[in-house]
Amino acid sequence: MEFSAQAIAQFLGGTVEGNPDVKVNTVAKIEEGQPGALSFLANPKYAHYIYNTESSIVLVNNDFIAESPVKTTLVRVSNAYESFASLLQLYAQSKKQKSGIEEQSFIHSSAKIGDNLYLGSFAYISENAIIGSNVKIYPHAYIGDNVKIGDNVIIYPSAIIYEDCVIGNNCVIHAGAVVGADGFGFASGADTNYKKVPQIGNVVIEDHVEIGANATIDRATMGSTILRKGVKLDDHVHIAHNVEIGENTVMAAQSGVAGSTKIGKNCMFGGQVGISPHLRIADGVKAGAQAGIPSDIKKEGSIVLGSPASDISAQRRSMAVYKNLPELRSRLSDLEKIVEELRHKISE
């Protein structure tokens, strides 16, 4: 499909600066631009590429000021990154969509299937499962007994949804993700052997949730592990039993949340963040990569770093001291020598 700069501007509510009739039929990073490609500039770190990019159209923020002539056509919008994401969604929708039920897939006779299901080869839909309309289930995916899946859901290859779990509308579950495996529940006995505690709850995933590849969401011991509306989890994230994650919270790769912790809405967690069990994390909290959170965070909008995590201002002061430790150690050693010399003089 081809789009002109004018058509893109109209779709995004932006303005054209340059040739309104120039057309694009693909997308590219601004540093790898080529004729006929659409790029975007949101991070000032990449601003120098705009003066030499070969892309035909570049989306920029309204407040972008060029320091020298720009040969490409600009489309100015309020948020270049968000606008580019909208165009990518439009581009993805224009691609051919999978449809139909392929050979060697299985649907149990008791399962209820909505309209326009795509079911890939070797995918399996179990007893009493309920599948909504416009659902795509790719090859080797497994849908367990009594699972409920809403409309417009995509389940990619080899994803596994255990029995009794509930998935809302407009969700995406990427390849290899596991929803509803047993939580890590064991009781130690007098003989020091660990006895498994049956995990009889489920996982409830609300609307517009996306779960990355190889992420694992454990079922509750009792009740439900819950991912609220709009949650986004990156690849290799682990959510333990009875955790609840609030609306629109996002979590980067390799992060983990231990059992029964409750996380507020609109939180952001960097890669490899670890959160201890039975905690309460307030709304709007941000945690930097590799932060280790051992206790409740009660203040909304807090920003924490480090392990154990603490407020960003305290961590920055600590880091400033830490990087000067070699010099401080040397100075301390010099002072010790001076003190020792003074002792000798006094003793004489």
Give the pLDDT confidence score for residue 71 in this predicted structure: 93
Rounded Cα distance, 161 and 166, in Å: 9
User: Which tokens is 66 given?
Assistant: 């060029």
User: Which tokens is 82 given?
Assistant: 């968000």
Give the pLDDT confidence score for residue 193 in this predicted structure: 82
Rounded Cα distance, 69 and 80, in Å: 20
State the catalytic residues.
241
Kindly give, in sequence order, each residue whose CB lies less than 8 Å from that of residue 194, ignoring residues fewer than 6 positions away: 186, 187, 188
Q: Are 281 and 297 in contact (CB under 8 A)?
A: yes
String of b and e for 34-69 (b: at least 16 CB within 10 Å)?
A: eebbbbbbbeeeebebbeebebbbbbbbeebeeeee
Give the pLDDT confidence score for residue 307 in this predicted structure: 85
String of b and e for 140-151 (b: at least 16 CB within 10 Å)?
A: bbbbbebbbbbb
Measured CA distances, 143 to 1, 35, 178, 235 (Å): 35, 45, 11, 20
Half-sphere exposure of 78 (CA within 13 A, CB side): 4
Residue 295 Cα to chain centre, angstroms = 23
Give the pLDDT confidence score for residue 340 in this predicted structure: 84
How many residues are recorded in the chain? 348
Which portions of the chain are predicted below pLDDT 50? none
Residue 329 Cα to chain centre, angstroms = 42
